[in-house]
Amino acid sequence: MMLLLKGAPVSKTIRESLKKDVEELKSRGVVPKLVAFAIQPDESSLEYMRGQEKSAEKLGIAYERLILKDADLKEAKRIILELNESRDVHGIIVMRPLPENVPEQELLALLSPRKDVEGVTLQNLGYLFHEAGGFSPCTAEAILRIADHYGVSFEGKNVVIVGRSITVGKPIAMMLLRKSRNATVTVCHTRTRDLKAHTKMADVLIVAVGRANMVGREHVKPGSVIFDVGINLTDSGITGDVNFDEVCELVDAITPVPGGISPVTTAVLMSRVVEIAKNAG
Ligand SMILES: NC(=O)c1ccc[n+]([C@@H]2O[C@H](COP(=O)([O-])OP(=O)(O)OC[C@H]3O[C@@H](n4cnc5c(N)ncnc54)[C@H](OP(=O)(O)O)[C@@H]3O)[C@@H](O)[C@H]2O)c1
């Protein structure tokens, strides 16, 4: 029987322990605080920030949206440096995509890795490669949390990842190559020849592309496990990158969309804010 790898029980466990930590911090006069800094945000960034705010509120984490109306690089740099220094601010998110004329690397280079809750600074990504701690990208971490919760092992498995973004595909590949996970990893992208030939070999398939239902029955090995990271807004609502109806009878386990990886990603993000506050307090 197919196992649905729902995110809710995983995020609930994380949130419950966070609530206790937040209460304890508040009793010591420390309020964990997350700031999202956006420059001329698009509608999807605004929506993402509204979601963050709701999750933070539920946990008693303070949340602030800082929005710069002009693509003023000098001012953006000043704001990031000020947030780095602020004792009241524990986590900082620099919302992406940034406007075209704002150089992402230049801004991220200023962001303190200790407050980089999304794990996107060069330092945190370097720590990830060196297995030296730091914050890894939240979505990659969320995949591991779900796998561990449901007892999905990667040991010796052929894991195929579709997508090579810096926030999902590349970091999860690195995390699964660790000796603690021991997967054999293949990463596919738009220039991969014969995608199906690769995905059909996958004991575990991770799809992070951003194209509704692009993975169908013909891509999937019977008895495999699928992590569907995609979030696509379609006429029939939110859907993943995997055609759930087509593959659900073939696979052993699959994350649903919505309700799979996203709630865990948010919980991981919040857990980092609290962790920083605990270490600072
Ligand atoms: N659930 C969550 O918490 C969460 C978090 C983050 C992202 N997401 C969702 O995950 C999806 C991916 O996000 P992202 O930020 O990783 O996206 P991204 O930066 O746009 O990267 C997409 C990747 O998919 C590859 N790709 C695109 N079309 C392909 C095709 N036809 N065949 C093979 N590979 C293809 C691209 O290849 P190239 O490199 O060759 O262009 C690229 O590496 C989106 O739907 C996003 O909304 C969900």
* Cβ of 80 below 6 Å from ligand 1: no
Task: Give the pLDDT confidence of 109-142 residue by residue, as tens digits.
Answer: 999 999 999 999 999 999 999 999 999 999 999 9
Residue nearest atom 6 in ligand 1 by C-alpha distance: 139
Phi first, then psi: give them for residue 256, nearest 5 degrees: -80, 160
Q: Are residues 57 and 93 in the same domain?
A: yes
Pairing outcome for strands 237-239 and 232-234: antiparallel
Q: How far is the CA of 24 from the centre of ligand 1 (A)?
A: 38
- Is residue 119 assigned to a domain? no
Give the number of domains in the chain: 2
Q: Are residues 142 and 72 in the same domain?
A: no
Q: How far is the CA of 189 from the centre of ligand 1 (A)?
A: 9
User: Domain limits at 189?
Assistant: 138-262
- Is residue 2 assigned to a domain? no
1 or 176, which is more confident? 176
Residue nearest atom 9 in ligand 1 by C-alpha distance: 230
Question: Is 37 within 8 Å of 176 (Cβ atoms)?
Answer: no
Q: How far is the CA of 163 from the centre of ligand 1 (A)?
A: 5
Residue with tokens 């001329």: 40
* Cβ of 163 below 6 Å from ligand 1: yes
Mean pLDDT over each residue of the chain, to the nearest integer:
97
Amino acid found at 65: R
Question: Which of 247, 215, 217, 219 has the alpha carbon at shortest distance from 229?
Answer: 215
Q: How many CA atoms lie within 13 A of 221 on its CB side?
A: 19
Task: Give the pLDDT confidence of 141-167 residue by residue, as tens digits.
Answer: 999 999 999 999 999 999 999 999 999
Element (H, E) at 76: helix 73-85
Q: Which of 42, 43, 117, 165 to mutate to test the pocket of ligand 1 (most atoms within 8 A of CB)?
A: 165
Element (H, E) at 50: helix 43-59
Question: Is 242 within 8 Å of 198 (Cβ atoms)?
Answer: no
Distance (Å, whole) CA 161 – CA 208: 8
Gap between the terminal Cα atoms of the chain? 47
- Is residue 170 assigned to a domain? yes
Distance (Å, whole) CA 273 – CA 74: 26
CATH at 52: 3.40.50.10860
Question: Which of 84, 88, 105, 3 has the alpha carbon at shortest distance from 37?
Answer: 84
Residue 91 pLDDT class (50, 70, 90 cuts) = very high
- Is residue 196 assigned to a domain? yes
Task: Give the pLDDT confidence of 270-279 residue by residue, as tens digits.
Answer: 999 999 999 9
The token duo for 259 is 């309700």
Q: What predicted TM-score, i.e. pTM, was given to this entire model?
A: 0.97
* Furthest CA-CA distance within the chain: 57
Output DSSP code: residue 2: P
Task: Give the pLDDT confidence of 178-233 residue by residue, as tens digits.
Answer: 999 999 999 999 999 999 999 999 999 999 999 999 999 999 999 999 999 999 99
Output DSSP code: residue 180: T
* Cβ of 229 below 6 Å from ligand 1: yes
Above pLDDT 70, what percent of the chain? Answer: 100
Q: Are residues 257 and 168 in the same domain?
A: yes
Question: Is 163 within 8 Å of 189 (Cβ atoms)?
Answer: yes
Distance (Å, whole) CA 188 – CA 209: 10
Distance of CA 201 to the CA centre of its chain: 25
- Is residue 49 assigned to a domain? yes
Task: Give the pLDDT confidence of 26-43 residue by residue, as tens digits.
Answer: 999 999 999 999 999 998
Q: Who contacts 258 (Cβ-Cβ below 8 Å, separation ≥6)? A: 231, 238
Q: Which of 209, 228, 239, 261 to mutate to test the pocket of ligand 1 (most atoms within 8 A of CB)?
A: 209
Tell me how many helices (H) and strands (E) the chain has.
10, 11
pLDDT the model gives residue 281: 61
CATH at 224: 3.40.50.720
pLDDT score of 44 more than 90: no
Distance (Å, whole) CA 95 – CA 80: 12
Q: Are residues 62 and 147 in the same domain?
A: no
**Rounded (10°) CA dihedral 248, 148, 270, 51:** 0
* Cβ of 188 below 6 Å from ligand 1: yes
Q: How far is the CA of 164 from the centre of ligand 1 (A)?
A: 7
pLDDT score of 63 more than 70: yes
